[in-house]
Structure 1
Amino acid sequence: MKPTPETLLPYDKPDSKHEQVADMFDTIATDYDFMNRLMSFRQDIRWRRLSLKHLQALKPAHILDVATGTGDFALDAFKYLNPEKVLGVDLSAAMMEVGKQKAAKAGLAKRLHFEQADCLDLPYEADRFDAILSAFGIRNFENILLGLQEMHRVLKPGGRLVLLELSRPTWFPANLLFKAYTSLFMPLAGRLFTKDGQAYSYLPASIQLVPQGKEMERLMREAGFSHTSHHTYSLGACTLYLGDKA
């Protein structure tokens, strides 16, 4: 049976996707930032900066960063939006430990907090956050729609979701180059530079399966978001999705 984003697993193990994803990111946590810069040719920095511009008019005071990882998106929020506080949540304690060290180095330990939580069952009351961020994480969810519904639930009315995800270019020859890059270079780099080469076979495979463009927008609307839109960066290698809560 052909895998879906929800059924694709990092490892050939009986553990749930939830458990496997947490284990995978715990293993690659210390290599993650280096690999992000390497594999995106440092474009991930630009993608986050451009996406945060869509929150500047909103001036959010309290932000939730879902699947925060090592906290790059949360830290960039302080640089470009200067909120009062940002809360980052993730399955991986090891990834967030790297984030805590980065926050302390930036002098933001009192304003940027990290909590280990299931992104499909966020432990927060409804209508709590002014804005929600999420970068490169939703394709790892066991249930993408449920994850979007949880983000919508904890977002305040009038708030906005800013979602970044890697995507597949659709036009020739960029689509062929991207497929070769993700299927050949990314796994090779993972084997050479990280403790878990299998992770960098799973991650590009997940890009091929994650909902793209209008299909992701459809899921966002089903989750309750309005005024959805998407914008592509770097010839379609990354897509920004925006959605508001009425």
Structure 2
Amino acid sequence: MPETHAPPSALPAPAEKAAHVRRMFSSIAPRYDLLNHVLSLNIDKLWRKRAVNRLGWERAPAGTYLDNCAGTLDLAVELAKRKAFRGRVVGSDFTYEMLQNGVGGGKTRGVPIGPACADALALPFPDQSFDGATVGFGVRNLADLDAGLREMARVLKPGARLVILEFTTPGWQPFRGLYFFYFLKVLPLVGRMVSKHSSAYTYLPESVMNFPEPPELARRMEAAGFSGVQWETLSGGISALHHGTKTG
């Protein structure tokens, strides 16, 4: 019998993940926003609004908030532009080009956002610095998910909330079948054409399918120091929104 081989994976080895992710996002940064909105049919904007609604920022409207793995700062802007918000948002990401694209595009003009190029596994902030934190589509890219969750717990004040918005996969048919056709066939093709990157939009579906399911992510948030963790799926299960409160 002829020997068969599995198709090559776009996922890097764990030891190489951080460097791989940084190179990939540096390359696609100029077209990242366009592809996000086109490939999600602009649903991602509604998800970000829901994430900020779950942050509970109204309890400290003049506080300091962290948007971790901030990318091009869309989620940070969603909070900073809220009418009653009088605080400050730190948008932290370890890919300089992503932050540069967000700032250079003018979206942060006139809003209280400070970009910070930093590693999510070793944040350069003191303990208990922030009144709340968000992560939009970033935790699955961490080289060590549990270490990243513990680091976010470290920089949050007791009683502060962490909100995580991340892709997941729908569980009900026939939507699940249609979704996987789009996610595994259409999205990588369009992504390659627009971004000119050979593997970034193959990495995306593979990273989602290899990421913990929502109940497991909730459990790991609790293990990292968050209580009252809740989650909900959005848009038929395309994404999941988790939130929990820093204990201690």
TM-score, normalising length: structure 2: 0.90
Query: Quick check: which has more Rg, 1 or 2?
Result: 2
Any conservation in 2 of the 1:88–1:112 contact (CA below 8 Å)?
yes
Matched, 1:28 2:28: yes
What code does the residue aligned with 1:240 have?
A: L
State how 1:84-103 maps to structure 2 within 5 Å: 84-103=87-106
Equivalent residue number for residue 73 of structure 1? 75
Is the 2:231–2:241 contact (alpha carbons within 8 Å) kept by the matching residues of 1? yes
Distance in structure 1 (CA, Å) of the matches to 2:117 and 2:46:
27
CA distance in 1 between partners of 2:190 and 2:246 (Å): 40
Deviation at 1:83, TM superposition (A): 4.0
- 1:75/1:103 contact within 8 Å kept: no
Q: CA separation of 1:216/1:105 partners in 2, compared to 1, >3 Å: closer, same or farther?
A: closer
Task: Report the Cα distance in structure 1 between the residues aligned to 2:116 and 2:242, rounded to whole angstroms.
Answer: 24
Flag the 1:154–1:64 CA change in 2: closer, same or farther, 3 A: same
SS at match of 2:159: strand
SS in 1 for 2:236: helix
Deviation of 1:101 after TM superposition, in Å, equals 2.0
Superimposed CA distance per residue, residues 43-90 of structure 1 (whole angstroms, 9 cap, x where no aligned partner): 000001112112244234111011000000000001226242111111
How far the C-alpha of 1:207 sits from its partner, in A, is 0.8
Cα separation, partners in 2 of 1:22 and 1:186, compared to 1, 3 Å: same
Residue 197 (1) aligns with residue 198 (2): yes
1:6-155 aligned at under 5 Å gives the runs 10=11, 16-54=16-54, 55-60=56-61, 61-80=63-82, 82-103=85-106, 106-108=109-111, 111-155=112-156
Contact 1:9–1:17, Cα closer than 8 Å, also in 2: no
Matched with 1:225 is: 226
The amino acid across from 1:123 in the alignment is P
Mapped contact 1:187–1:197 kept (Cα < 8 A):
no
Equivalents in 2 of 1:92, 1:195: separation in Å?
18
Q: Deviation digits for residues 178-229 of structure 1, max 9, x if unmatched?
A: 2111110111011211121310000111111111211100000010100000
Amino acid at match of 1:157: P
Amino acid at match of 1:149: R
3-state SS of 1:16 partner: helix
| Contact 1:10–1:198 (CA under 8 A) maintained in structure 2 | no
Distance in 2, matches of 1:93 and 1:57, equals 30
Listed as ranges, the gaps of 5+ residues in structure 1 are: 1-7
Task: Check conservation: 2:218, 2:230, Cα contact below 8 A.
Answer: yes
Name the count of aligned residue pairs: 236
Contact 1:62 1:83 in 2 (8 A): no
Cα distance in 2 between the residues matched to 1:15 and 1:213? 25
Aligned structure 1 segments of 4 or more residues deviating by more than 6 angstroms:
none
Q: Is the 8 A contact 1:10 1:199 kept in 2?
A: no
Q: Distance in 1 between matches of 2:36 and 2:114?
A: 22
What percentage of aligned pairs have identical amino acids?
A: 36
CA distance in 2, matches of 1:52, 1:189: 29
